[in-house]
Every structure is written in C-alpha cells, then in structure tokens.
C-alpha cells in the first residue's frame, strides 16, 4: 500500500539496466508521445544526458517526483549533473547494481517525502540480511 501511494507522481527510468537494478515500475508502461500518463522512461545508454533530461523535467514540472537509476560505477559520468540537481532540481538518484527490496522501502519513503533534500540511494550488490531492530519508520530517524 505504501509503495502504491509513493508511485503517484513518480516518473523516471534508467538506461539499459532495468533488468539489473529492477527500478522498472512494472504496473506502468513507458512514457512516450502517445502514452504521456505512463511512468517509465527509456533513455538508452547515455548516463550524462539522462541526468540532464531528468534535471530539466524536474525543474519544469515540480509536481513530479523524478528518479534516475544506474550503476554506482557510472557516477563519474554524471558528477556535474548530480551537483546541479542537488542545488536546484531534486532528482532522486538510485545508484545500484541490486534490486529495491523491502529493506530499502524506508529509504525510498524518506527521499520521496523529503524530496527538497538532495538524495542518492547507494545500494549494495550483495544480498544482506535485514539488521535486527531496523524498520521503515526507523530509517527516517
């Protein structure tokens, strides 16, 4: 239920990595000229340009929550784009080579609710067990 509420207003995507970082919103199709209500964006293999597009959309449509996902290893290609976003546009960057499992729901909640704060979710490739005593509510603290 929480994630369904968070999806409202989400728009974003990644380059060619949807199957690897599982940030594709499967209940929606691809945003295109003839399908403007869909939530997934296909960028192709262009890290820096993808960030520029995300910043532009976020700047001109403040009601949307824009996210951009890629492998953390590609951060150097987009350093300037992320810096500009941190100053102005508030794009949520998901840097991973892993999925967005239940252990990350709390982090997603925080970056969506407090989207005026620059956010990068740097997620591990390793499958790690959830730490005892952690919770979605605890992440916000």
Mean pLDDT, rounded, for 53-61? 83
The pLDDT confidence band at residue 5, using thresholds 50, 70 and 90, is: very low
Q: Count up the domains in the chain and report the number.
A: 1
Question: 49 lies in a domain?
Answer: yes
Q: Could you report the per-residue pLDDT of 102-121, keeping only the tens digit for each? A: 657 777 788 888 777 777 77
- Please give the radius of gyration of the chain, using alpha carbons only, rounded to the nearest integer: 14
Q: What is the CATH number of the domain that holds 76?
A: 3.40.50.970
Question: 137 lies in a domain?
Answer: no
- Residue 40, classed as helix, strand or coil, is strand
Residue 11 and residue 24 in contact, taking contact as beta carbons nearer than 8 Å: no
The pLDDT confidence band at residue 86, using thresholds 50, 70 and 90, is: confident
Q: In the prediction, which pLDDT does 87 show?
A: 76
Residue 104 and residue 54 in contact, taking contact as beta carbons nearer than 8 Å: no
Q: Can you tell me which residue has the tokens 């508030």? A: 90
Model confidence at 7: pLDDT above 50 = yes
């Amino acid at each position: 239920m929480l994630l369904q509420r968070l999806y409202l207003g989400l728009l974003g995507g990644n380059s060619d990595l949807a199957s690897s970082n599982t940030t594709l919103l499967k209940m929606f199709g691809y945003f295109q000229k003839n399908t403007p209500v869909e939530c997934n964006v296909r960028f192709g293999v262009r890290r820096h340009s993808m960030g520029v597009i995300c910043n532009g959309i976020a700047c001109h449509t403040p009601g949307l929550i824009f996210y951009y996902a890629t492998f953390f290893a590609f951060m150097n290609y987009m350093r300037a784009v992320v810096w500009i976003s941190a100053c102005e546009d508030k794009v949520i960057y998901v840097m991973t080579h892993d999925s967005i499992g239940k252990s990350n729901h709390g982090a997603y909640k925080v970056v969506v609710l407090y989207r005026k704060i620059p956010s990068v979710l740097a997620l591990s490739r390793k499958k790690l067990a959830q730490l005892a005593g952690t919770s979605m509510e605890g992440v916000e603290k």
